Amino acid sequence: MLLKKSSSIVKWIFYISIAEILFWTILSFLVPESSTKFSDDIGLHDILIGVNIINYTVFGIFIILFYINYRKISLTDSIKELMANIIRTRKTVKYFVIYNITTSFLIIIGINLYYFLNQDIVFKYMSEDYGIANISQDQFMRLFFVIQILFGLVMIAFILLFYRLVYGILLRRLHKNYKELEKIEG
């Protein structure tokens, strides 16, 4: 029974990771044309392509690891093997969450550092694209960075909340199964 429960939980982790990559992919197609144009104008296009390639590659690796974990739990024969596979799965999910949060944080910092180092270009294209008037470059950039910081914090909080709710629930269930197996084994 615990084998079936654990296998089901790991299968859900696998499915949710696939849904997550699909969500981010679909979301990338919904980015307004003006944002894409702005990124291209200030020279971020190639950098963002490179970051996306790296992220999708790492995401793919994690999806493969989740699938391998699922297959191992499904084929487990002994309690000891199941316990080891549960620990492996929990570690994989923790690394996945840490990677995504760290990457999101670093991307936000990196983009804003790029904006900071290229304030003249940012102001020029924001003025042209969005018709900013009656505000100095210094005032605009201060407001721009306050908004960027707030948006970045909200994004990180959203990602943390999502992982806490979705993966946290699944990991707690796996941990509960592990504790029950420990009692049986002990």
DSSP state letters, 158-181: HHHHHHHHHHHHHHHHHHHHHHHH
- The gap from C-alpha 65 to its chain's centroid, in whole angstroms, comes to 16
40-94 confidence digits (pLDDT tens): 888 899 999 999 999 999 999 999 999 999 888 877 667 888 888 889 999 999 9
Q: Where are the domains of the chain?
A: 2-185
| Distance between CA atoms of residues 103 and 145, nearest Å | 20
139-171 confidence digits (pLDDT tens): 999 999 999 999 999 999 999 999 999 999 999
The closest of 176, 186, 184, 170 to 69, measured between CA atoms, is 170
